[in-house]
Copies of this chain bind each other. A is one copy, B any other.
Amino acid sequence: MARIVQKFGGTSVGDIERIKRVALRIKEWRDQGNELVIVVSARAGVTNELIAKAKAITPHPDDREMDMLLAIGEQETIALTAMALHAIGVPAVSRTGQQAGIVTDFFHTKAKIKRFDSSPLNADLAAGKVVIVAGFQGVNEEGETTTLGRGGSDLTAIAVAHVVKADICQIYTDVDGVYTADPRAVPNASKIQEISYDEMLELASSGSKVMQSRSVEFAHKYGVDFEVRSSFNNNPGTIVKAETKSMEDVVVRGVAVDKDQAKIFISEIPDKPGTAAKVFRALADAAIIVDMIVQNMGRDGVANLTFTVPKTETHKAQTLVAKVLAEVGGGKVEVFENTAKLSIVGVGMKTHSGVAATLFQSLAAQGINIDLISTSEIKISVTVDAARVDDAQRAVHTSFGLDKA
């Protein structure tokens, strides 16, 4: 017997039939003697429908009211899931974020969990019930409904697993687990059995869409192991956990590609202290997330600075940079959108040398030019021509011995 947290995303509970199927899966686990807390998302599409309604009323709906509106998506799913469990004889009770004990800060639409009172969930479990918790939502100390932002349901699941001291936390998704590369681009990609939090984080921030970084960070912070697995079959998925010694035997755990970044190139900047600071302060104030930043050595009193931003922010970023340049008196800005980022990730890099050399050789052999390079302790990222990035990732995947046997 184990205490298990299971999270089902919007696709898994997308309609009545799927909710019934999820209920049957839950029953199977319970019949094996397990205690269960289930975290569910809104049915696929519901959140977007609600957003569309809000936008039909006003282009910039108030954040507090957005949270009030969006929270109903999960509230529908928890009620229907509890009913589906009752219908097959499983005692179950639904809980909104508030009822589950999740207290957040005041930042509507992207609230952080401040406190999580374990007593409601523990009481339900002690009463022999399967608890169905609404993902993505909580309540602030004024009693106002808040939502946790993108990936919020995963975050709820990890937090629940932490406070109820779950033995297992399973994140059910529409993929089988975490792969060494995107199988649609790299047919030889294989499922990773175990991955460290850091590797998972680097993959997430490098374009692998399985989970949002903050859920992984949260799990890392509290030491919650979790498994990413498919809601459509019973295959074991990928376990995400603290780094172990044996993990270092693998140099590169996976390859990730991000095609949603644009490159902003600033040339001939007056090379004096504070210019870069001004640029990035302006971007930060506009809440534009900057990914890679590369600056070469200043020469003849001018420097070149390149960074990447999400493509959706290109225009805004360019305008802001132009404004800063006008202030500092010099430099020009150019935008390149046909760029893509390729990253290799692995804790083994810490103890193996020659990883960068292998990466660069592999790309050179394909005639693919490397543009920006950026490294961290367990990751190397490069940007290349977007048109060649899929060739690039297949070659790199093979070079690091990731192709399936």
Contact = CB atoms under 8 A, between A and B. Distances in A.
A385 interface: no
Contacts of A78: 68
Contacts of A99: 143-144
Interface string A195-212: 000000000000000000
A82 interface: yes
A356 B16 CA distance: 56
B87 A58 contact: yes
Contacts of A87: 57-58
A316 interface: no
Interface in A124-150: 143-145
Interface stretch (A3-11, A48-56, A339-347): A48-56
B72 A58 contact: no
Contacts of A57: 16, 19-20, 80, 83-84, 87
A281 interface: no
A335 interface: no
B82 A62 contact: yes
Nearest to A23: B57
B65 A86 contact: yes
A80 B69 contact: yes
Contacts of A80: 53-54, 57, 69
A382 interface: no
Nearest to A52: B16
A390 interface: no
Contact of A76 (B50, B82, B83): B50
A71 B57 CA distance: 22
A113 B58 CA distance: 34
19 contacts: A16-B53, A16-B56, A20-B57, A54-B79, A58-B84, A58-B87, A61-B83, A61-B86, A62-B82, A62-B83, A62-B86, A64-B93, A64-B94, A65-B79, A65-B82, A68-B82, A69-B80, A71-B75, A96-B145
What are the nearest 9 A-B pairs in CB distance? A58-B87, A69-B79, A72-B72, A68-B79, A65-B79, A61-B83, A16-B56, A57-B83, A65-B82
